[in-house]
Amino acid sequence: MRNPLTIAAAQPWCRPGEIAKNTRAHAALVRQAASRVVVFPELSLTGYDLAARPLSPEDPVLEPLQEACAETGALALVGAVTRQADRRYIAALAIEPDTITVAYRKTWLGGNEAEHFARGDGPTALAVDGWRLGLGICKDTGSAQHTAGTAALDIDAYVAGVVHRPDELAEQEARATVIARSCQAYTAIASAAGAVGENYPDTCGASAIWGPNGLAITRAGREPNDIARATLFQFSTHPHSPTRGQI
């Protein structure tokens, strides 16, 4: 039986374009969350700015966040724009005490994102302490193809960062329920809170973590700087069959 995994879905305040300030806000929430994995919303470091400058894993602006991960032993999954060759991506950076990597690139682009970004390579799983985490970003969570492809990776939990307007909260909840039941996996959604750009003067927040049965284990509120946090347990003898979680 694997050790429990503590995971948090965090929704920091965001100042679009002020990456250094946003990085420090992320670092504060990593320390507050005191979790092994901390998931942040889509484009959380930049705000929802399709023209935002790309970040590389070597960018010194990320150092305060990596220091917070080193202090707490956390893996932070943060939203940023990245570049590979001449292509830009909406991505999730995996920040650990000793390394920073591009963990996932968004596959299903929405609105006019395709005018600014390339599509990622599809479903991806990340191993953390014996747990397999499937990754998604915003519109990925509404794609049945992406959900099925991620489920096929034999995941224990699905984690995603999203940006949704207040009137999209019901859709956010419905997608999470479908993902959890389809993948038979815990599902953690980090949802932006407050204003995150011109196209999103208000967002719904309400980050949450659901059990494999599709029922919510814990929820954050609508305001920035709130956190949903849960400890995931696995009791089955099958290596990838989590059965319940608790706060």
Mean pLDDT across 139-161: 98
Residue 237: pLDDT over 80: no
11-44 pLDDT, tens per residue?
999 999 899 999 999 999 999 999 999 999 999 9
Supply the angle between the helices 19-33 and 63-72 in degrees, to the nearest 10. 10
Burial (0-12, 13-18, 19+ Cβ within 10 Å), 86: exposed
Per-residue pLDDT tens over the stretch 174-212:
999 999 999 999 999 999 999 999 999 999 999 999 999
End-to-end CA distance of the chain: 20
Mean pLDDT to the nearest integer, 92-96: 98
Sorting pLDDT into bands at 50, 70 and 90, what band is 1? confident
Average pLDDT for 213-239: 86
Residue closest to 29 by CA, chosen among 232, 233, 223, 245: 223
Q: What is the mean pLDDT of the chain?
A: 94
Q: Which residue has the tokens 């999203």?
A: 162
Q: What is the pLDDT of residue 2?
A: 83
Mean pLDDT of 32-60: 97
Please give the CATH number for the structural domain made up of 5-246.
3.60.110.10
pLDDT in tens, 96-147: 999 999 999 999 999 999 999 999 999 999 999 999 999 999 999 999 999 9
The residue with tokens 């932070």 is: 76
Asked if pLDDT for residue 246 goes beyond 80, the answer is no
